[in-house]
Amino acid sequence: MVKPAWVREPGPGPRLVHVNATATGGGVAELLHGLVPAQLAAGIDAGWAVIAGDDGFFAFTKSLHHLLHDRGAPRISTADLDHYREVLAPQAQWLAARVGPGDTVVLHDPQVLGLAPALAGAGARVVWHCHIGTDAAGAAGPEVVWRAFSAELSSVDVVVTALAEYAPPGRPVAVCAPAFDPKAAKNRPMCGVETGELLAEAGLTAGTASELAAVEQDAPMPVGARMVLQVSRWDPLKDMPGVLRLLPGLPGDVHLVLAGNDPEEIPDDPEGLAVLAEVRRLRAELPASLRRRVHLVRTSQRDAERAALLINALQRRADVVVQKSLAEGFGLTVTEAMAKGRPVVAGRVGGLCAQIEHGRTGLLVDPVDTAAVAAAVCGLLSCLRDRERMGAAAAAAAAATYPMDRLVADYRAVAARIPEGASR
C-alpha cells in the first residue's frame, strides 16, 4: 500500500500534524524544517508526514500550482483529478487512522488538499495552508481549481494563506506570512573566512570537483569578483533563463551565479530538468567572454546541512541578490537574503511585493522588463552606500516581520479558532 512517510512522528497528542509532498526542496519543506522543531520547543506535539505520488500525480499537481498562479490553460481533466484522488485515497485512510478529535492537521499546498475529507471524517481539525496564488482578482486559473476541489475545500475548517488575495471564496481564512529560522544552517551567522572556504569547497572559486555541489563553469569565479546571485528551484516561474539574459547588461567584471536544487531530487517538481536544460543551452550559446562569467550551481540534499551552509555562503557573498520571479507565492529566498543584509532586486509580483518596500528594503521591478531589471542591478552595484543602506533596512525588516515564534503563535491562534467537532 502507498503510504506517507513520517519526517517526524508525533506523540500521543493532542497533535498538530503537517502534511506535504516533499521533505526537501522548495519553501514549504524549508519552512517545516524550522517550524516543526519550533512548535516542539513551544510544547506542541508536532508531526510531519510526506505523501508519495507517481509521475502522473506530480505532473498534475504541478499544473495545479501553475493554475493557482493563473498560468496555463484554465482546464482540469476529469481523468487527472480521478488519478489524483486514487493516489491520495489510501494515504488519506492511513493518516485518518492516526489522528482524531482534538488533533489538528495542516495540509500544505494543492498536492495534499485531497486528504481533507478523510481527515475531517476522522474528527480532526483540518487546515489547508495554500502557499501560492495570484493577486489578480477573478483570475480564471484559481477559479477552475476552486470548482474542481469544492468537495475537498468544504472539508477544510480554515484556509491559511500568505496574502488575503490567495484565498478561495467561502471558507474561513487566516493570513499568516511564512517565517525563517535565523539559527538554521541556511541563515546562521558566518564569517568571511568560512564563506570563502565553502565556496572553494563547492568548486565555485577553486574549480575542483566537489561532493558539496555540481558547478558548471568555464573557469572558477575569481575570489574578489563582484557577484550577482539568484537562488531558486529550476521552475519556469522563477525565470532562471531571464536572469541569464541580464548578463550583457551588467558591468564586464560581474559574475552571475545561478544556484538551484538538483532537479532529480525533488519529486513534486517535474519541470526542473527542462528548465535546467534551457539554462544550459542559453549558457552554451553565449560568446566565451560572457560565458566565463556564468556559474551554474546544483546543490544536493544528500548532505542537507552542508547544502544549506552553501546557500548561506552564496547569499552572504553576493553583492546583489536577484529574484526575477514572474509569479511568487511568497519567496523565502528573498527573506533569507534580506535577513543577511543583502540588497535585493525582485519581481514586482505576489509575496515579493509584500516583503520588499521599494527603495527602502530592496528594489521591485517589472520582471519581464530585462533592461529595467539589469538597470536596477547596475544601479545597486554602482553605489555601495545604497547597498549598505538597503541591506541594513532589509535585515531589520526580515528579523522583525518573519520570526519563527510569530508563525508558531499564528498556528496556535488558527487552531484555537476551530471549535471541537467543527461543523463543515
* Residues in contact with ligand UDP by the rule CB under 6 A: 26-27, 30, 186, 231-233, 259-261, 299, 311, 330-333, 336
Q: Nearest-CB residue to ligand UDP?
A: 27
Q: Which is nearer to ligand UDP, 61 or 261 (CB)?
A: 261
Q: How far apart are CA 298 and CA 423, in angstroms?
A: 47
Q: Which is nearer to ligand UDP, 70 or 103 (CB)?
A: 70
Q: How far is the CB of 95 from ligand UDP (least distance, A)?
A: 23
Q: How far is the CB of 332 from ligand UDP (least distance, A)?
A: 4
DSSP 162-193: SSGGGPPTTS-EEE----B-TTSTTTS---HH
Q: How far apart are CA 157 and CA 327, in angstroms?
A: 27
Name the amino acid, one letter, at 304. Answer: A
The three grid cell numbers given for residue 234, joined into one nine-digit string? 529550476
Asked if 193 and 204 touch (Cβ cutoff 8 Å), the reply is no
Q: How far is the CB of 174 from ligand UDP (least distance, A)?
A: 19
Q: Which is nearer to ligand UDP, 182 or 260 (CB)?
A: 260
Specify burial of residue 253 (Cβ count, 10 A radius: 0-12, 13-18, 19+): exposed
Name the amino acid, one letter, at 86. Answer: E
Asked if residue 182 has a cis previous peptide bond (ω within 30° of 0), the answer is: no
The three grid cell numbers given for residue 315, joined into one nine-digit string? 547569499
The three grid cell numbers given for residue 169, joined into one nine-digit string? 471564496
Q: Which is nearer to ligand UDP, 91 or 333 (CB)?
A: 333
Q: Which is nearer to ligand UDP, 128 or 330 (CB)?
A: 330
Q: How far is the CB of 325 from ligand UDP (least distance, A)?
A: 8
The three grid cell numbers given for residue 45, joined into one nine-digit string? 506535539
**CA terminus-to-terminus distance, the chain:** 30
**Coil/strand/helix, residue 278:** helix
Q: Which is nearer to ligand UDP, 155 or 315 (CB)?
A: 315
Q: Which is nearer to ligand UDP, 233 or 283 (CB)?
A: 233
In this structure, what are the phi and psi dihedrals at residue 99, rounded to the nearest 5 degrees? -130, 165
Q: Which is nearer to ligand UDP, 71 or 85 (CB)?
A: 71
Neighbours of 143 (CB within 10 A): 15
**Coil/strand/helix, residue 85:** helix
Q: How far is the CB of 148 from ligand UDP (least distance, A)?
A: 22
- Cross-strand pairs, 347: 365
Q: How far is the CB of 331 from ligand UDP (least distance, A)?
A: 5
Q: How far is the CB of 159 from ligand UDP (least distance, A)?
A: 18
Q: How far apart are CA 297 and CA 333, in angstroms?
A: 15
Q: How far is the CB of 347 from ligand UDP (least distance, A)?
A: 12
3-state secondary structure string across 116-157: HHHHHHCCCEEEEEECCCCCCCCCHHHHHHHHHCHHHHHCCC
Q: Which is nearer to ligand UDP, 39 or 325 (CB)?
A: 325
In this structure, what are the phi and psi dihedrals at residue 302, rounded to the nearest 5 degrees? -60, -35
Q: Which is nearer to ligand UDP, 265 or 386 (CB)?
A: 265
Q: How far is the CB of 260 from ligand UDP (least distance, A)?
A: 5
Q: How far is the CB of 84 from ligand UDP (least distance, A)?
A: 20
